[in-house]
Amino acid sequence: MVTYADLPMPEDGKLADNITHFARALRAAGLPVGPGRVVDAIRAVEAAGFSEKRDFYAVLEACFVSRPEHRVVFGQVFRLYWRDPQFLEHMMSLLSPMVRGVNQSPEAQAAERRAAEALLEGADARRPEEPEDQPGEEVEFDATLTFSADERLKQMDFEQMSAAELAEAKRAIALLDLPVRPIASRRTEPAMRGRIPDWRGTMRSAMRSGGEIERLAYRARRQRWPNLVALCDISGSMSSYSRMLLHFLHAAANAKGAGWSQVHTFTFGTRLTNITRHMRARDVDAALRAAGREAEDWEGGTRIGACLHSFNRDWSRRVMGSGAVVLLITDGLDRDDPAALGREAERLRLSARKLVWINPLLRWDGFQPRAQGVRALLPQVDAFRAGHSIRSLEELSVALTRADDRGDRERLLALL
């Protein structure tokens, strides 16, 4: 058991108290911060000292952050707790119900709402009432199209969800299935209702009855299930969505009777990492924790073309042999040579039975294929769909069962 010696505290105790309250806010936001880390953080601040804010940030980050996905939450809580003197009003605006077009606030940044809930835990988030002697314009609300809580959660963007909403979304995603149609094999097997005459079987049956043919035997094509191969972008611009989509892929990999022969999962940012064996763990948190240790390029840059080249060279023949369906999960924001990216994407499409591109940027109605990476990838995919919410993942599950599904590919191709 780890024991700690007596900790010399400052006489006023304000810095130590503030670090303790900051650690409580991190814990409320979902980071695993225990008393030992708080003591370590106070000791580290005392030992290192600091003259600039970034030094203070680095010391606390080294003590409280142990996983790459915690950095965004830590950054938002730190910004709100230690810097912005008006953070209370800003956090209130994030938690208060707003009417779009009447008093619209700036869009919340990644994990900002989660940090706001952690710092305002138990606080009354209602906006102050206006004095009676200041009559304002009367606004009538039409509640005809009011959504239920479940429907609202399904349509909410993953990036804008609070910690509680993310937990609820993960439970909903775990219940989703990813059905697929079987593939007719070239091989045949005896079948009572088959349409292919089995002359050899008919003659064998006739020999058992003295040479008289009593009935014709038939055969039918065997059915086999394709592989599912997922290539998930874990760069910084995709961090909020890649975690939720990996939850979705974990549910698909462990669903019984879903139809897929095998589910292979790869992550890529600046390098390609095979996390298939980790995703087979029954517990999703253990699976993603092991995948996080395996992949060293979380929330880094993006080299889509180089990573697709590594997949085509090292893994394509191993996992694509049975007419695999490929899910390419990325925003397409790549600064490498677009011609090379297009060649690797074309080679991937020719190896797959169907190549589906899942791009969270498609959630915007005004999205246009202007980035060079998007323009290189779009002509090479069979279908183009968004993956930013539970509703979009449900639509993807239905679309995979339709051979003619193209999503928004044709509409965006017309804009190239």
Place of tokens 């775990």: 174
Q: Give the integer Cα–Cα distance in Å for 55 and 48.
A: 9
The tokens describing 219, both together, are 């055969």
* Residues 281-339 pLDDT 10s: 878 888 888 888 888 888 888 899 999 999 999 999 999 877 899 999 998 888 788 89
* Residues 175-224 pLDDT 10s: 888 888 888 888 898 888 888 989 999 999 888 888 888 889 999 988 88
Paired strand residues for 325: 228, 354
**What per-residue confidence (pLDDT) applies to 380?**
92
**What per-residue confidence (pLDDT) applies to 113?**
61
Q: Does residue 144 surpass a pLDDT of 70?
A: no
Q: How many residues does the chain have?
A: 416
Phi (first) and psi of residue 143, to 5 degrees: -95, 20
In this predicted model, which residue has the larger pLDDT, 52 or 215? 215
Domain ranges of the chain: 14-89, 187-223, 227-414
- Local confidence band at 119 (pLDDT 50, 70, 90 cut-offs): low
Phi (first) and psi of residue 377, to 5 degrees: -85, -40
Structural fold of domain 227-414: Rossmann fold (3.40.50)
| Nearest CA-CA partner of 111 in 158, 42, 46 | 158
Q: Does residue 127 surpass a pLDDT of 50?
A: no
Q: Does residue 106 surpass a pLDDT of 70?
A: no
Average pLDDT over the chain, rounded to whole?
79
Q: Does residue 22 surpass a pLDDT of 60?
A: yes
| Nearest CA-CA partner of 360 in 339, 388, 332 | 388
Check residue 299 and report its DSSP letter. T
Q: 35-48 and 14-28 helices cross at what angle (nearest 10)?
A: 140
